[in-house]
Amino acid sequence: MKKIRDAQTIVGVLEGGEFAADLGNAITDSLAKLKEMAGNRPKAKVKGKVKVAFHLTVEQGTVTIETDIVPELPKKPRGSSFYWVTDDGSLSPEHPQQTDMFAGPRGVSASA
């Protein structure tokens, strides 16, 4: 009677080998996505998971093994933007109470 006892062999034979291939693809795809999320930022740390579940059903001396592979990736990091809100609710990149000194010459006020 042939016995399978080590996890590597069990994982390798599940679903005719498709489970192991799908698990490898899930890990590789997750790593690629995490690397993309980290970008070229030297101190960026992005974490993810690949969860594996084995659902075992034993009945009359037999076992049925169903598997599940669930990649868990964080949301893509988003940047932030800073604007001023004007009196009418519009956005402005300029402080509404400061004048733009690079806008060119201004007229002289007549109240001098």
Q: 3-class SS at 2?
A: coil
pLDDT above 70 covers what percent of the chain?
89
Q: Which of 3-12, 65-74, 88-97 has the lowest mean pLDDT?
A: 88-97
- Average pLDDT for residues 36-44, to the nearest whole number? 85
How many C-alpha atoms does 15 have within 13 Å on its Cβ side? 12
The domains of the chain are located at: 7-74
Beta carbons within 8 Å of 101's beta carbon, 6+ residues apart: none
pTM attached to this predicted model: 0.66
